[in-house]
């Protein structure tokens, strides 16, 4: 008997159909899905639209607070890093070194703010029920729109300050104007950094030679010397507080009145008050301080403030009053010189 021949039970048509099916399956496996990736852990808050941070605590309130604090902390650290980089490029590395401490403290102040628009997206308990967890979220688009608007306002202020600078005479007024420009520039850098963190385009543009302007400020600051003289029984306390505020912001002082380029002169007085409260002593503190350019004897700034403080102990009431009036005058002095009131 001859050798047997094996015959494929599939018909030619069936074989062709199977081949087509296999080809289609192979093509389907090679294609990438057009559906955008979803955050499996938080599908309602995709990272393309939201910044998120998680926090935990023994109570729901603790978890909410921790989540918001964590989001702010992460955001602020990224903003501070990017702002410092921007400041280096816009102010110039040489200028950055001259104003390093001032710039660092200013960046910390204006970047350390509670994130407007941040909210709690969801709260849950762990499987054991022993602790709570919360997810803080920040909408990138909503935040971007707000900060874009803020950036436009800062740009307009910068343009106005730069235009006014062209007509300002005298070293003291020019120093104050340049201080404002420098701090507005840092505020602008912070806003640009915030927009970069949320991946929102910063369309606002500003054509200012910041390195040149800040170099002018560095020269003026290095040349100016301030002399402080505040009289009154507690005037020395106020004088020391004013001196500390000025030196912390890079202002140079002198003990020689004749060698000063600017005088900070004034008087602080305290007065006991008779009020219908036998258990509390009230003290009124009043202060008048002037800033005068010695060369022209022109009055640059005048500060007049008064307030009252009370305490069961009269000495403590006096202390509270003199410290409060001194710090208030200090803030107004820094503001007149172009520094922000929140500077330390």
Tally of CB atoms within 10 A around 300: 18
What pLDDT, on the 0 to 100 scale, is given for residue 314? 86
Domains annotated for the chain, with CATH where assigned, are: 50-139 (3.10.28), 141-221 (no CATH), 224-336 (3.30.160.150)
Report the predicted TM-score, pTM, of the whole model to 2 decimal places.
0.76
What pLDDT, on the 0 to 100 scale, is given for residue 5? 38
What pLDDT, on the 0 to 100 scale, is given for residue 304? 97
> Average pLDDT per run of 10 along the chain, which is 344 residues long?
44 49 48 41 86 93 94 89 84 76 79 80 87 94 93 93 92 94 90 91 79 90 96 96 93 96 97 79 94 94 94 89 96 92 41
What pLDDT, on the 0 to 100 scale, is given for residue 40? 53
What pLDDT, on the 0 to 100 scale, is given for residue 302? 97
What pLDDT, on the 0 to 100 scale, is given for residue 1? 45
> What is the total residue count of the chain?
344
What pLDDT, on the 0 to 100 scale, is given for residue 30? 45
State the sign of the Cα–Cα–Cα–Cα dihedral 10, 14, 20, 25.
negative
What pLDDT, on the 0 to 100 scale, is given for residue 162? 92
What pLDDT, on the 0 to 100 scale, is given for residue 145? 93
State the sign of the Cα–Cα–Cα–Cα dihedral 331, 111, 173, 168.
negative
State the sign of the Cα–Cα–Cα–Cα dihedral 264, 183, 149, 51.
negative
What pLDDT, on the 0 to 100 scale, is given for residue 3? 43
Tally of CB atoms within 10 A around 337: 22
CA 169-222-237 angle, to 5 degrees, is 95
Q: In the structure encoding, which two tokens stand for residue 344, read together?
A: 């330390």
């Amino acid at each position: 008997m001859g050798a047997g021949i094996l015959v494929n039970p599939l018909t030619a048509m069936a074989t062709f159909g199977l081949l087509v099916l296999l080809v289609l399956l192979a093509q389907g496996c090679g294609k990438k899905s057009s559906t955008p990736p979803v955050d499996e852990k938080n599908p309602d808050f995709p990272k393309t639209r939201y910044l998120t941070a998680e926090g935990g605590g023994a109570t729901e309130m603790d978890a909410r607070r921790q989540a918001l604090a964590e989001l702010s902390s992460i955001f602020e650290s990224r903003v501070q890093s990017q702002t410092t980089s921007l400041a280096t490029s816009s102010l110039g590395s040489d200028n950055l070194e001259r104003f390093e401490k001032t710039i660092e403290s200013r960046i910390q102040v204006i970047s350390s703010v509670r994130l407007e628009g941040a909210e709690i997206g969801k709260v849950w308990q762990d499987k054991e029920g022993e602790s709570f967890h919360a997810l803080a979220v920040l909408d990138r688009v909503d935040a971007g729109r707000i900060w874009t608007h803020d950036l436009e306002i800062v740009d307009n202020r910068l343009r106005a300050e730069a235009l006014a600078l062209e007509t300002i005479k005298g070293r003291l007024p020019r120093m104050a104007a340049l201080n404002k420009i420098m701090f507005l520039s840092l505020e602008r850098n912070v806003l640009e950094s915030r927009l970069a963190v949320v991946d929102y385009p910063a369309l606002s543009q500003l054509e200012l030679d910041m390195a040149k302007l800040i170099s002018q400020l560095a020269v003026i600051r290095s040349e100016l010397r301030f002399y402080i003289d505040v009289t009154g029984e507690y005037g020395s306390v106020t004088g020391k507080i004013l001196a500390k505020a000025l030196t912390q912001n890079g202002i140079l002082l002198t003990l020689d009145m004749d060698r000063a380029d600017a005088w900070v002169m004034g008087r602080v007085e305290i007065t006991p008050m008779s009020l219908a409260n036998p258990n509390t002593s009230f003290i009124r503190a009043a202060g008048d301080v002037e800033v005068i350019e010695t060369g022209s004897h022109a009055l640059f700034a005048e500060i007049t403030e008064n307030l009252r403080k009370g305490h069961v102990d009269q000495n403590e009431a006096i202390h509270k009053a003199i410290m409060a009036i001194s710090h208030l005058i200090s803030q107004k002095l820094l503001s007149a010189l172009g520094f922000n009131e929140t500077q330390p």
